[in-house]
Amino acid sequence: MARTNNVTELIITGLFQDPEVQRACFAVFLPVYLATVVGNGLIVLTVRVSKSLRSPMYFFLSHLSLVEISYSSTVVPKFITDLLVKIKTISLEGCVAQIFFFHLFGVAEIFLLTVMAYDRYVAICKPLHYTIIMSRPVCHRLAAASWLGGIIHSMVQILVTVQLPFCGPNVIDHYFCDLHPLFKLACTDTFVEGVIVLTNSGLISVFSFLLLVSSYIVILVNLRNHSAEGRRKALSTCASHVTVVVLFFGPAIFLYMRPPSTFTEDKLVAVFYTVVTPMLNPIIYTLRNAEVKIALKRLWGRKVNSAVE
């Protein structure tokens, strides 16, 4: 990057400019981030140690929670610490690294949510063949493919970005590094790069979302042939997944499938999917899932007994 760039450090404007508002945001977002790490970490640990959570659904849920921790940690720690400083800076290399990991974990989550929808489709629509179709090796391959898809997607984004020359200005009108705000700083036309980003990010989101919606339409149609108890249990599981899908895809499609802007509401939408949504996922899955709640209680009871002994 050094051969084409005069800019080595970037200034981030942040979410708000008022110091008191920033301190209030720090007091709110720090507990939210800690809850994200602890909540999702508990799900990963519980699925790992609990013998009752060995089904593919929980295997993918543990990967989703791991992605949530990583996704949030790419942006939120720096965002929180920046709330306490007047001038917020990041190196150009650090900015590119943040973009790489942000998109890696974001797209890995998209693919994992799609895989989880496929798992529910097989479980509800093809129950007699479920253990064969969703065998342990298949689950490992699907999880690995989700992570690999995120890596490939992110590498494309970075290859597009590192070709651009940055010769000033160096102020990013956002609270973290993302492609559209960074493109505005390039001292060249970025129309082609913008189209590539739209294709790579936006279309992945839209096609995956349409695939997810189609999967759940098929599931709902097939539920007519199930008993009332079977429908209740299936709808309870699917409702949690659909809620997470809407919370994640709604803001992503809103931001990436339209012309970029720097309106304050765009930043607030970004706060929702980078800070709030990763915290909500473990709450959504545990509140509606008796097996996870029982496993968490057993894990907590085991730790309490160990501490007493």
pLDDT of residue 263: 56
For residue 260, is the peptide bond before it cis, meaning its omega torsion is within 30 degrees of 0? no
pLDDT at 234: 79
Check residue 108 and give its pLDDT. 96
Residue 139 confidence (pLDDT): 97
Pairing of strands 171-172, 88-91: unpaired
Closest CA to 240 of 283, 182, 205, 211: 283
Domains of the chain are 9-306 (1.20.1070.10)
Q: What pTM value is reported for the model? A: 0.90
Task: Provide the pairing of β-strand 9-12 with 88-91.
Answer: antiparallel
Please give the pLDDT value at position 1.
Answer: 43
> Which residues, at least 6 apart from 295, have a Cβ–Cβ distance to it below 8 Å?
46, 47, 50, 52, 53
Q: What is the pLDDT of residue 256?
A: 64
Ordered mean pLDDT values, 10 residues apiece, the chain (309 residues): 69 91 95 95 91 91 95 96 94 95 94 93 91 96 97 94 87 91 89 84 83 89 80 80 84 68 72 91 79 81 58
At residue 262, the pLDDT reads 52
pLDDT of residue 159: 93
